Structures are given as structure tokens and as C-alpha cells.
Amino acid sequence: MTALLEVRDLSVVFDGFRAIDGVDFTVQNGELRFLIGPNGAGKTTLIDIITGLTKPTTGTVVFDGKSLAGKREHERVRLGIGRTFQTSVVFEELTVLENLDLAASFRRPLWQLLARRKGVVAAVEQALETTGLGDLATRKAGVLSHGQRQWLEIGMLIAQGPRLLLLDEPVAGMSSDERARTGELLTSIAKDHTVIVIEHDMEFLRRYASQVTVLHEGKVLIEGSVDEVRADPRVQEVYLGRAREEAAHDAVS
Amino acid sequence: MTAVLEKPTQLTPEKPPRQWKGPAVFVAVAIIALVVMPLLLEPFRLGLLAKYLCYAIVALGIGLAWGQGGMLTLGQGVFFGLGGYAMGMFLKLNDAGGDLPDFMVWSGVEQLPALWAPFGNPVFALAMVVVVPLVVAVLLGTLVFRQRVRGAYFAILTQALAAAMVILLVGQQGLTGGTNGLTNFFDFFGNDVAAESTQRGLYLTVAIVLGVLYLAAWQLVRSRFGRLLLAVRDGEDRVRFLGYNPATVKTITFAISAVMAGIAGALFVPVVGIISPALLGVVPSLELVVAVAVGGRFALAGAVLGAVVMGYAKTYFSEELPDAWLYLQGALFILVMTLAPKGIVGVAAALRGRLRKEASA
Ligand SMILES: Nc1ncnc2c1ncn2[C@@H]1O[C@H](COP(=O)(O)OP(=O)(O)OP(=O)(O)O)[C@@H](O)[C@H]1O
Ligand SMILES: [Mg+2]
């Protein structure tokens, strides 16, 4: 296995606040990596930097042996880096099928886009099947439930055939049924993709994760297997400490 | 990754919804415009309609840029003017027959300015009707959309451009005819431009050009590019993460709308007999945006309808109540934007839906 993504000595400063502080982070080809950490730890910011939404103050991001410095967002997507957002964004005026088709068509030359869509390309067919959204294909994405939107977003990603998928809290706000389905979806995608998943939920983590990186206050706290991470006293402090504080806060208010 | 580019498979054949209504309406409107109206309207009224149809071509472009692409362009007058002046310059040189155009003589210009010389050639002039708006829009779009200027900033920028264009035209009296613009045309490709038959021919030309551009825009909206344009309108940042450059999509669309305005301007000149700064400044640009909003900006038909309806309304009210028109227009705009954002087309669709429901109940 070779490293698909290598982040070296990465820092980003927002108005004097170090949101990411000297992070080294490597993901191998074919890996399913979970990225966890309390609110404000810098998880989303790390993904923002990898995908070009935020510029790092120092450090490098190397994807498949090539530096991403100076590459714009859509150029990174063309290299094979796809992401979802913490709050899902699908195109509500387009149907599920059109959303997927748009995602799948991004490598077509522009003049080809001037033709109308005829039929369904294989990648879209595959994405509909994987996400189980086939029955909703001709419905506008605006009518989808929260869970279905997340699946559509994931479907749009896989329809693009990316080499690295970055999923920002895909199960946040989902019912336990939806979580289970998303977990299965994740497992099946991870079979033939490299995936980084940001997730808070310890239960979800216990079920579906193997390798975990814990981020805390912009730094990597620990990296290892789920069991190692869960057993680590610092992680317990970060998470349980929070939980205790929140419980105390709840009790007061 | 190769799967993305594979040929369409037909695993789930979609039954195309029967779409005969749209084409049927189009054909009906085309028959009315091309056959009924020329028989029904006296020459003066037909000329008015031709003018409104010129505006409808601009409106069609606004509908694409604003309604489909989310780019509120308040400066379409600029492109209308570029097309109009290109045509006007040709007609003036043609009428002058080798001499200086009349207004240049009056303002003491002694030699034909170098900028004017090539416009004596009709092929060049007609090409410029398309090329100049295209180039200006592509340059502007490339600069502006790359820098992610959008929303109100883009709107203000285009409006400022319209204002600047007027100042430029007024200031260059000898080159542009100043405030008066270019007028007093006699010959239009071998015909007396004021003759009834010429005007009828011009009306038919405008109607056909509008129809062709409408079909082209309709095809664009229904293509993958059209889907992409909607996506850019509703989530530009998300589109970036699908691997598209929204700036390119917006620039292309903006350029198409600019070319439409340019063509409209060129047709306007022989139809109305003048092109001047007052016809392309901030106010006329705004009026067309209001017209598109009133007709319904999310539908191409709404944009066209709005331009014609507001054209008639303006003519009627400026004859009957000249002072009230401006306020009425403003009030109508606010009313539409707050209560009926889909305009006349949206209201009509809602009414139809309600009637159908009542009929089935
Ligand atoms: N553009 C920005 N400008 C200023 N501060 C920012 C910006 N983006 C993020 N931050 C700050 O950086 C810190 C890390 O934020 P980030 O969104 O990466 O956290 P996170 O780990 O994703 O948290 P959550 O679990 O709540 O999503 C937070 O304190 C946040 O307020
Ligand atoms: Mg986050």
C-alpha cells in the first residue's frame, strides 16, 4: 500500500486563532479512516484545506505524489478528491437522477453538455443502486428527507469515480435506522474507495471504524485502532470531560 | 473513472413525458405573430409590436442570465447599444454613400474616424453586432466571475457599466452623435426603411429571429448545461465541488444573453429609426428587468411575455398618464417580487392548477 494523501506540518490561522496546528496526517490507498474530535477540533477545517476551500498558513498537502498547492477547488475534484458537506447541499430544483447525472458528467467536454441527457449512464445507474434511491430517481431532490439527501450526496460522489472521498458527518441528525443504512453504505463504498469519514458518534465508530485519527484543538491527539483510541485516557478526557461538563451545564439550566 | 464516459445504457428506460403542450403553444403563438398580427394591425401598431419584440429578445437573454443563472444583470442596455450602434453606423455610412454622415458634418468632423471606416461593409457590421457584445461579455465575465463577484455586487457593476456607456456616448459627439444618437436613416439594404412593406418585412424578421433564439434558449435550458446552470444559480459553491468551474458556466451564459441583446439592438435600429444613449442607459435596462420579473423570470416564455405586456403598458400609460407610469412600474415590480415571484406565468399556472382541482372535485 502507498500513501494516497499526505498532509505535512499543516497549520491554519484564523485571525490569530490556530484552528489547525502542525498536523501530520497520512492516508493509505484503499483505507477507511475515521476522523473524530470534539466540536471545534478542526476536522472540517482539515477537509476544507484538502479540498481547496481554505488555504493553509503553512504546510503541504500531497495527493497521489503531487502537491495540491495552488490548485483550485474544481481542479482538485478533477484529480479525484470528492467531498460532502456537514450540512448537505443537493440541487433541490433538479431531480435525483439529474443531480447524479450532473455529478457524473463533470469530465465531459463543455460542448457535450449542450446536448440533452438521453438515458442513464452506467455510473449513475450504479450510484442509484448503491444508495437505494432508484425509486426516487424522477423526484425533485427538494422533497427528499434529511437522510435521503445525505445518500444522494454520497451517490453523487461515487458517480464521479473519485479516488478519495471525504465525508463530513454523514450520519449527523439521522435516525438509528438511517444510521445503520448509512453504515452499510459506507462499508460497501469502502471496499473499492479510499474514504475519510468525520464522525462524532462513538457508537457508529465502534461499529464501522477500524483506523481512527483523533483531532483536538487543531492537533492530532492519537492515531490507532478503534479499541486503542477508545482506551486512551486522553481521548476519554477530551470526550468524557466534555460530556461531564455538558451534563453539568444541562443540570444547571 | 472510465465508466463516467461510457455510452448511455438503457437499463431503466425512462418514458419521456408527453411534451406536446409546449410545442403546440409555440406553434400557435408563431402563427398569431407571423400571420394574424400583420393582417390585424395597422402599420403603426405593427411597428410598435416589432419594437416590443426587439425588447423581448433582450428579455429572453435576461431570462437566461437571471432566471436560469441567477445573474441579475442591470446593464443589458450596454449590449443592446453595442449591437444598435454597429447597425446604425452601417446605415449612416450607407446613406452617406461615400461622404461623411450628416451629424459628423454638423459637428465639424472633417475625416471619417478610423473606427467607423470598416462599418461601411455590411458583412463586417453585422458580424460586429454579435462579436462586440460577445467579446465584451466574455472579458467582463472572465474578470468578474473568476473573482467570485456575484449577487448585488454584480448587479451594481452592470448598472454602473450602463451609466458609463451613456457618458461615453454622450461625450463623443463627433464619433457617436452624442445625445441625439444615430438617426435619420433612409435606406435599408436597398429598401426605403420607412416604407410600409419594409416595415412589415422588418416586423417578420424580428418575430422570426425571436422565435429562433427562443428555440435555441429552450434547447439550452433543457440540456445538461441548463441543469448545470440551475445548479450554479442555487449552489455555486457546491458546483465547484462537483468539478465544474462555475465562472465558465456563468461567463458563457452571460455572453449568450449579451449576444441576444446585441442582435435585438441591431434589429431595433431600422424598426424604430434611431439608436441613442437614452435608449440603452440605466433606466431602459432596469425597465427590461422589471418586465422579465413581471412576466416570470423562471420561464423563458415569462420573460418574452413580460417584455411585450410591459411594452404595451408603457405605451398606453405614457399616452394616458405619463407621470404615473414610473411609479406604477416600481409598484408592480415590488408587488411581483414579494407576492408572485414567478410572475404572470406563475400566477397563470397556479390558477390553472386550482381550476383543475375544482373540476376534478
Ligand atoms: N473561516 C473561519 N474563520 C474563523 N474561524 C474559523 C473558520 N473556520 C473555522 N473556524 C474555527 O476553527 C475551529 C475549528 O472549526 P471546525 O469547523 O474545523 O471544527 P470541527 O472539528 O469540524 O467541529 P464540528 O464538530 O463542530 O463540526 C472552530 O473554533 C471554528 O470556530
Ligand atoms: Mg465540522
Give the H/E segment covering residue B188. strand B187-188
CB of A45 within 6 A of ligand 1: the answer is yes
Q: Residues with Cβ < 8 Å from A233, sequence gap 6 or more?
A: none
Domain containing residue B78: 32-183+196-278
User: Grid cell 441528525 — which residue?
Assistant: A173
- Name residue B83's amino acid: G
Nine-digit cell string for B337: 417580487
The bound ligand whose nearest atom lies closest to the alpha carbon of A13 is: 1
Mean pLDDT of A131-141: 94
Facing A119 at nearest CB: one of B5, B9, B234? B9
User: Grid cell 433541490 — which residue?
Assistant: A92
- Name residue B155's amino acid: A
Q: Which residues pair with A83 in a beta bridge?
A: A166
Q: In this predicted model, what pLDDT tens digit does every residue of A212-224 receive, in sequence order?
A: 999 999 999 999 9
pLDDT at B13 over 50: no
Give the lowest-confidence range in A108-112, B76-80, B129-133, B319-323: B319-323
CB of A87 within 6 A of ligand 1: the answer is no
Q: How many CB atoms lie within 10 A of CB B330?
A: 12
Q: In this predicted model, what pLDDT tens digit does every residue of A220-253 receive, in sequence order?
A: 999 999 889 888 888 888 876 666 666 666 655 5
CB contact under 8 A, B1 and A51: no
Q: In this predicted model, what pLDDT tens digit does every residue of B32-63 receive, in sequence order?
A: 999 999 999 999 999 999 999 999 999 999 99
Nine-digit cell string for A247: 451534563
Identify whether B191 is part of a domain. Answer: no
CA dihedral of residues A181, A183, A185, A188 (deg, nearest 10): -140
Identify whether B211 is part of a domain. Answer: yes
Q: How many domains does chain B have?
A: 1
Pick the CATH number of A3-252 from 1.10.357.10, 3.40.50.740, 3.40.50.720, 3.40.50.300: 3.40.50.300
Give the H/E segment covering residue B183. strand B182-183
Report the C-alpha gap between A251 and A248 in whole angstroms.
5
Pocket probe for ligand 1: among A14, A199, A239, the residue whose CB has the most ligand atoms within 8 Å is A14
CB contact under 8 A, B243 and A107: yes
Mean pLDDT of B336-355: 92
CB of A40 within 6 A of ligand 1: the answer is yes
Cβ contacts of A101 on chain B, cutoff 8 Å: 224, 227
Facing B3 at nearest CB: one of A83, A114, A122? A122
What's the gap between Cα B281 and its chain centre?
14
Report the C-alpha gap between B285 and B359 in whole angstroms.
42
The 3-class secondary structure across chain A, one letter per residue, is CCEEEEEEEEEEEECCEEEEEEEEEEEECCCEEEEECCCCCCHHHHHHHHHCCCCCCEEEEEECCEECCCCCHHHHHHHCEEECCCCCCCCCCCEHHHHHHHHHCCCCCHHHHCCCCCCECHHHHHHHHHHCCHHHCCCEHHHCCHHHHHHHHHHHHHHCCCCEEEEECCCCCCCHHHHHHHHHHHHHHHHHCEEEEECCCHHHHHHHCCEEEEEECCEEEEEEEHHHHHHCHHHHHHHHHHHHHHHHHHHHC
For residue B129, the model assigns a pLDDT of: 98
For residue A206, the model assigns a pLDDT of: 86
Identify whether B200 is part of a domain. Answer: yes
CB contact under 8 A, B241 and A73: yes
C-alpha pair distances (Å), B22 with each of A93, A194, B16, B310: 20, 47, 14, 23
Q: Which of B2, B4, B146, B298 best probes binding to A when mutated, by most A CB atoms within 10 angstroms?
A: B4
What's the gap between Cα A9 and its chain centre?
21
Give the lowest-confidence range in A194-203, B166-175, B229-238, B277-286: A194-203
B186 phi, psi to nearest 5 deg? -120, -50
Q: Which of A64, A71, A73 best probes binding to B when mutated, by most B CB atoms within 10 angstroms?
A: A73
CB contact under 8 A, B242 and A160: yes
Instruction: State which residue of chain A sits closest to B223, comparing Cα positions.
Output: A116
Cβ contacts of B230 on chain A, cutoff 8 Å: 91, 93-94
Cβ atoms of B145 and B239 within 8 Å: the answer is: no
Cβ atoms of B285 and B155 within 8 Å: the answer is: no
DSSP B42: -
Q: Where in chain A are the domains?
A: 3-252
Identify whether B218 is part of a domain. Answer: yes
State the distance from the centre of ligand 2 to the C-alpha of A243, rounded, in angstroms.
18
State the distance from the centre of ligand 1 to the C-alpha of A43, rounded, in angstroms.
8
Mean pLDDT of B289-314: 96
Give the H/E segment covering residue B207. helix B196-222
pLDDT at B285 over 60: yes
Provide the percentage of residues in chain A whose pLDDT is more than 70: 94
- Name residue B124's amino acid: F
Report the C-alpha gap between A69 and A57 in whole angstroms.
11
For residue B41, the model assigns a pLDDT of: 95
Facing A116 at nearest CB: one of B222, B231, B241? B222
For residue B1, the model assigns a pLDDT of: 36
Mean pLDDT of A103-109: 95
Nine-digit cell string for A222: 492519537
| 209-238 of B, contacting A, C-beta below 8 A | 219-220, 222-225, 227-228, 230-231, 234-235, 237-238
Report the C-alpha gap between A72 and A84 in whole angstroms.
17
Nine-digit cell string for A157: 460522489
B16 to chain A, any CB pair closer than 8 A? The answer is no
| 260-319 of B, contacting A, C-beta below 8 A | none
For residue B360, the model assigns a pLDDT of: 81
Identify whether B176 is part of a domain. Answer: yes
Cα–Cα–Cα angle for B158, B336, B46, rounded to 5 degrees: 75
For residue B2, the model assigns a pLDDT of: 35
Q: Residues with Cβ < 8 Å from A153, sequence gap 6 or more?
A: A84, A85, A88, A89, A90
State the distance from the centre of ligand 2 to the C-alpha of A53, rounded, in angstroms.
13
pLDDT at B11 over 70: no
